[in-house]
Amino acid sequence: MHGKSTERMRKVGPYGVETLPYVDAADSGPAASAADSGPAASAADSGPAASAAYRSAASIEVPAAPAACRDALTERARLHWSRGDGGDPAALAEEFLAAHGLPLHDLTRPATGQHGTGVCGAALYLSAAAGALLAGAPTGAPEPAPALPDLAVVVYQHGPTRVTRPGPPSSWRLGEWAESWTPGQHAAAVDAVRAAIGRGDVYQSNLVGHAAAPYAGDPLPALSRLGALPGARYGGVLTGDGWAIGCASPETLVEVTDGQVITRPIKGTRPATATGRAELLASAKERAEHIMIVDLARNDLARIARTGTVTVDELFAVRRWCDLWQAESTVRAAAADGLGLADLLRATCPGASVTGAPGHVDLGLTIRTAAADGQRLHTWAGGGITWDSDARAEVAEAAAKTTPIRATLAGR
């Protein structure tokens, strides 16, 4: 890592999670622009050499960072946690952030400025498996990208504004995608979920497929392109040793601002054409499924809200993400007294998430997201299955969601 370390590797809390050194950009000289000039940008081969370069620069591109800050952020501190470490990831994240100048133990209190500490904000990633752990649910199938941590928290601060140095584009090649299932197997899985609903075992299930492709070159520019896709509310990149996540998610899991808790569930997708919009608005099936998801969101907020304050501000609004129309609603409530980040995560997870700056908490579901390890890029796509779901339509919808992601990663 470039720069002068002002903090040695040390243990934080009772869970044996290591905090990586703080890099002082003021002492690091060219490190602030190393993302454009150093090993991270010039890595031209795949494998460990390229993946080791992910953390070579102090400058970072934080998902959902304010536009005014995006080109001037440097990493201050971070932690990684995996399920094998034991303990409570929600409590650990809250403890770590408080130790680094971001107290989030009571989100109903007015935000205090962080200028005295130099902290600008933080990014948080929580895997679906970690979310399931918080909910006391099974963690599901093994992670196809095991290099990813189950929890990553990166605290950031302002540094010198980055200036992109002109130069030849880095070499990049993306291989063929290998799917975790065939369209027929996907359709059969949809039918299996519908059968489980018919038996009364479940009332809705999120069914997701995985795909991976080998690559050669530096994956960070490809992942960065995702964040620029139209409608990517949580656009950005989060990196670590041997892994990186590029996010183009439009969906708010939960946001807390001025004591108000907000969620914006998305359910219902059509091609972004005039015909597609009309079909989505006219679909009784999509509207019924969407309202069911809204009811679940209302129930989730009721667990962390003041009694009687849960309201639906907007129902079934159609908005665009890339070349797709999506139906979105907004549910709001007043936060219960003493609501902290750990309680918020326990109430709204499972669900992988990314969070942003101090003053408020903004957690987004990491849909429309890709990840890189030392050898492959990974994508996931699927949807919520209900009794009225059509297997062929679900397969087509998953393909429509992942098509712009794969095209962007390939550079097309």
Residue keyed to tokens 């018919």: 198
- CB atoms under 10 Å from CB of 214, counted, come to 14
CA distance 88 to 361: 19
Kindly list the catalytic residues: 251, 267
Strand pairing category for 324-334 and 266-271:
antiparallel
CA angle 370, 243, 234 (to 5 degrees): 45
Tell me whether the omega of the peptide bond preceding residue 39 falls within 30 degrees of 0, making it cis: no
